[in-house]
Amino acid sequence: MEKPIIYWIRRDFRIDNNPALKFAIDTDQPIIPVFIRDEFVDSLGSAPKWRLELGLECLAQKYKTYGLDIIFKTGSADKVLTELINETNADKVVWGRTYLPPLNDRDAKIKSLLKQKGIMAKSFPGHLLFEPWSVSPKSSDFFKVYTPFWKTTRYKDPLGSIIKVTQIRSSNQQPKSENLENWGLGEGMSTGASIVHQHVRLGEKAAKERLDWFIANKVMHYSSSRDIPSLDGTSDFQKTYR
């Protein structure tokens, strides 16, 4: 039976323009998309967990249009991935980088562990236009204000080219998935969810609509309005992706 490839969903909730997913598709192997509720997810506050639940619901619906179901699992990432590999006979695991120091260290250990088991493990650029180490200032590890960052990156091309996904191969080996609804990620928001929900935009479709609106109506004033918090003067579409 053909070996599948596991795509480990991290903070990049999109299908188009996703380098890790593109790599998985290009292998021409069946793909098993997996989201793991690990200790990092459990450490999030009520609002981030609520947004995460909404984002996962939206992403799961998008995957269904390609004939795939996201596999939801709870536990430490190394243990869950190892169990999935044993269950499905997958020979590759790919994911997008998160850029969070504690998770970077953890992911490096997972990558090393998988490679020791003979599994190809590879991480890719995630949800940023530029990876931090590619545009770091000479005087420190990262930019603290916007203008120096802009001066450094305005003549640089963002990572990669535009990637449009038309089809994704699904796997006949479907591991048992937990039910996202049973996780209760949004329970901590209580009555606040109904108030905040009307201001939330999620998913690739919403992001593209927001970007089109920004280009048509606001981009010409960006240089001045970006410094005034009371104005809706920035693209503000990155929140729809994660």
Q: What is the DSSP string of 36-97?
A: EE-HHHHTS-HHHHHHHHHHHHHHHHHHHTTT--PEEEES-HHHHHHHHHHHH---EEEEE-
pLDDT value of position 186: 86
User: Per-residue pLDDT tens for 48-82?
Assistant: 999 899 999 999 999 999 999 999 999 999 999 99
Of the candidates 52, 56, 57, 49, the one whose C-alpha atom is nearest the C-alpha of residue 188 is: 49
pLDDT value of position 242: 57
Mean pLDDT of 206-223: 82
pLDDT value of position 159: 64
For the chain, the structural domain boundaries read 1-125+164-200, 130-159, 201-242
Task: Say which residue the tokens 């999030």 belong to.
Answer: 44
- CATH code for the structural domain at 1-125+164-200: 3.40.50.620
pLDDT value of position 59: 95
User: Per-residue pLDDT tens for 27-47?
Assistant: 999 999 999 999 999 999 998
CA 72 from centroid of its chain's CA atoms:
15
DSSP bridge pairs for 120: 92
Task: Average the pLDDT over each of 64-78, 156-170, 224-238 and give the range with the smallest value.
Answer: 224-238
User: Per-residue pLDDT tens for 12-24?
Assistant: 898 998 999 999 9
Percent of the chain with pLDDT strictly greater than 70: 93
Rounded to 5°, the CA angle 19-171-184 comes to 75
pLDDT value of position 216: 87
Question: Which stretch of DSSP H or E encloses residue 32?
Answer: strand 31-37
By the 8 A CB rule, do 97 and 124 touch?
yes
Helices (H), the chain: 19-26, 39-42, 46-64, 77-88, 101-116, 146-153, 180-183, 192-196, 204-217, 222-225
Task: Say which residue the tokens 């593209």 belong to.
Answer: 208
Confidence tier at 241 by pLDDT (50, 70, 90): low
**pLDDT reading at 215 higher than 70:** yes
Between CA 39 and CA 86 the distance in angstroms is 22
User: Per-residue pLDDT tens for 170-212?
Assistant: 999 899 999 999 999 988 887 777 677 777 777 777 778 888 8
